[in-house]
Structures are given as C-alpha cells and as structure tokens.
Amino acid sequence: MGTARLTIDTGALKANWRALDAMSGAACETGAVVKADGYGLGADLVAEAMAGAGARSFFVAMAEEGAQVRAVVGPGAAIYVFSGHMAGDAETLAGADLIPLLNSAEQIARHVEALPDRPFGIQLDTGMNRLGLEPGDWAGLREAVMGRGPRLVMSHLACADEPGHPMNAGQREAFEAMTAGLDCPRSLAATGGTLLGTDFHYDVTRPGVGLYGGLPFAEARPVLRLDVPVIQTRTVGPGEPVGYGNAWTATEETRIATVSAGYADGLIRAMGPRAVLYADGMPCPVRGRVSMDLITVDVTQLAEVPDRLELLGPHQGVDDLAAAAGTIGYEILTSLGARYERAVA
Ligand SMILES: *Cc1c(COP(=O)(O)O)cnc(C)c1O
C-alpha cells in the first residue's frame, strides 16, 4: 500500500490533558480546545478521548464544529464557540446547545434578538486586538450583559508562549480591571497561560496545542507517529541530480529511497533541505525538493532499507518538523493530510 500511516496515541492525548489539569487547583476546571478538526487529528476522536479523560468543557472556533463535537460528547458537556454568534448561526447554536462567546456589541444584540433564552459567554479584548469587546465597549454594556447571566467571561493572551514577556502581566491586569467584582466564571489561559502559573488560571483553562503534544508544553507526551512507505530505492553516482529543479546533486555514490508522501499530505515543501526521516533511530536526510506526493531520502548509511521510514515519532516531534519548515507545531498539526491511513494506538 502506498498510503502513509498516521498513528494517534489516545492514551497520550488523555495523559496530556490530565497533566495540564493537574497544574490547576481543584476549583479550576480544565477545558479542551478541539477546533480545526481537533488540530488536524480528527475532532471526533479527540473529543471522545478528552471526554474520557474527564473534560466537561469544550471549545471550538465555529458553530458547525460545535455541532460535530456535540454529537460525540452527548448532552451535558459545555461547548463554547470562539467566533461567537455569526449571522445565520442561531439554528446551529440552539440545535446543538452551544455557547457562543460573543465578541462585539453587534453580536450581543444578535444573540439577544434571536436566542434570548439561550446561554452565551463574553469575550474581552485585553490587548491582543484580535477578538473581543474593548474596555470602552465593555464599560457601557457590562451591566446589561451581566443581568443576562453569561456562562463565562474570557480573554486570550498574545504572548503566553514567552513566560518573561511583559504583555502577560499587562493583559492579566487588564482582565482583572475589566472583570473585577463579576459574579461569573472567568477564563484567560490557553496552553501557554496554563504553564504561566495559577495566577493566570481563573475558573476555566482552555488548553489546545499542549493536548496534542506541541510546544509550549515541552513535557507533553508525543501523540503522533507518521510512517511513510518506501516505493523505490536507487543508487545515484557523483554529479547526478535528484528531484525537481536539480535542487540536490550527489557528490558521491548515494542510495536514494523515494517515499510515498509529500506536500499534498501537509509535509510543507519548505522543510525539504533541513528535514530528516528515521529508520530505527538512524537519521536519513531529505535530498532535493519535497514533491506533491513523494519525498526523496538519503538512505546510504542503512544496511537494509525498511518498508517504511518514520517522519513523526519518538525521534522527531511536530515541533522538530516545524523547525525544519520554519513554522510552528500548530501548523504542522493542522496541515496533517486527509490521505493518511489513520490508526489509533
Ligand atoms: C486556539 C485557542 C486556544 C487554545 O490555544 P493553544 O495555544 O492551542 O492552547 C485557547 N483560546 C482561544 C481563544 C483560542 O483561539
């Protein structure tokens, strides 16, 4: 079979949620962010694993994602929608019992008009300038909104992956100022904020990437393994080029294995010159450009070429691959291809 196999370790997913959960006190609830199809791993599989680990609050980006999660976790769990209440969302929000995190006066008006008796939360902007009510907007709306009993008031940190960044304390202060005296659960921390310490945890944390084994949660258990089949092996002599654009030329006799995966599977083309695949712990560098469906790999040093080479696994995680491609683990995760044979370990 020419299809690469992506193995998802649900035990590691659960262990990562429990490890992040253990960082907060008993009064703080740990949620699970499962937007973007569970960061590319599959929303159904991830939501089921998180519910199994003990999560009772889930976060998605869009209402449609929330409806998918509801079908998996059943009634009872809270499912929050970061994009809030967009035009046309009312039926999905009500039908799947979702909680939109309203981010503007316009959204608050839309929600109160369309779904006056349905739950909602509020998103505040504490300096990131991406989503949420600004302090001025909030001051004018706060009393009326609080009278309607929001389920959660939240904000998001811009620089939480840099513990020493002054933005963290600044946003926390802004959040305090905007939420002082409110009788309502509060949430500020994603993975990075959870790692900053309990001052940032409030009532609900919202980890995403750390669940999936990505930085900034350096102690996370790796969740993914990606094994790519070798289709063909050949020997090239000194002076012979490999792949598109003759981007690499052998300087000595080299054994090249061609493996069955490429940028159409989310293996970002830019990683080419720095990426490595592994055979039983032995690194095998990529030679030449990453093609749409194929990658050429130097296996000269192997006594025997295995049927598959490992692209993600114990020797290389999503952040290693991200470094080779000049991006972040989040992008490697959410780019994971639709063509992989997906297996659960
Ligand atoms: C994506 C997202 C999260 C999760 O962030 P991670 O860095 O993946 O933990 C939490 N809150 C909001 C508002 C988000 O957009």
Q: What is the DSSP string of 205-223?
A: E---GGGGT-TT-TTPPP-
Domain with CATH 2.40.37.10 in the chain: 224-344
Residue 82 CA: which ligand 1 atom is closest? Answer: 13
Residue 6: predicted pLDDT: 98
Is the Cα torsion angle 167, 169, 172, 178 positive or negative in sign?
negative
Residue 177: predicted pLDDT: 98
- Does residue 142 line the site of ligand 1, with CB under 6 A? no
Residue 160 CA: which ligand 1 atom is closest? Answer: 7
Domain with CATH 3.20.20.10 in the chain: 31-212
Residue 273: predicted pLDDT: 83
With CA atoms as reference, report the closest residue to 159 among 132, 187, 130, 128: 128
- Distance, in Å, from the CA atom of 330 to the CA atom of 73, rounded to the nearest integer, reads 24
Residue 209 CA: which ligand 1 atom is closest? Answer: 8
| pLDDT tens profile 10-23 | 999 999 999 999 99
What are the b/e assignments for 155-171, b being 16+ CB within 10 Å? Answer: bbbbbbbeeebeebeeb
Is the Cα torsion angle 19, 20, 21, 24 positive or negative in sign?
positive
| pLDDT tens profile 56-82 | 999 999 999 999 999 999 999 999 999
Residue 272 predicted with pLDDT over 90: no
Residue 34: predicted pLDDT: 98
Distances 124 to 104, 127, 265, 277 between C-alpha atoms, Å? 9, 9, 37, 44
The residues annotated as belonging to the active site are: 35, 244
- Does residue 207 line the site of ligand 1, with CB under 6 A? yes
Residue 1: predicted pLDDT: 85
For residue 10, how many other CB atoms are within 10 A of its CB?
18
What is the identity of the amino acid at 54? G
Given CATH 1.20.200.10, say whether it is the number of domain 31-212: no
With CA atoms as reference, report the closest residue to 31 among 61, 55, 65: 55
Q: Using the mean position of ligand 1's atoms as its centre, give its distance from the Cα of residue 249 in Å.
A: 43
Distance of CA 211 to the CA centre of its chain: 8
- Does residue 208 line the site of ligand 1, with CB under 6 A? yes
CATH for the stretch 224-344: 2.40.37.10
| Mean pLDDT of the 46-54 span | 98
| pLDDT tens profile 139-194 | 999 999 999 999 999 999 999 999 999 999 999 999 999 999 999 999 999 999 99
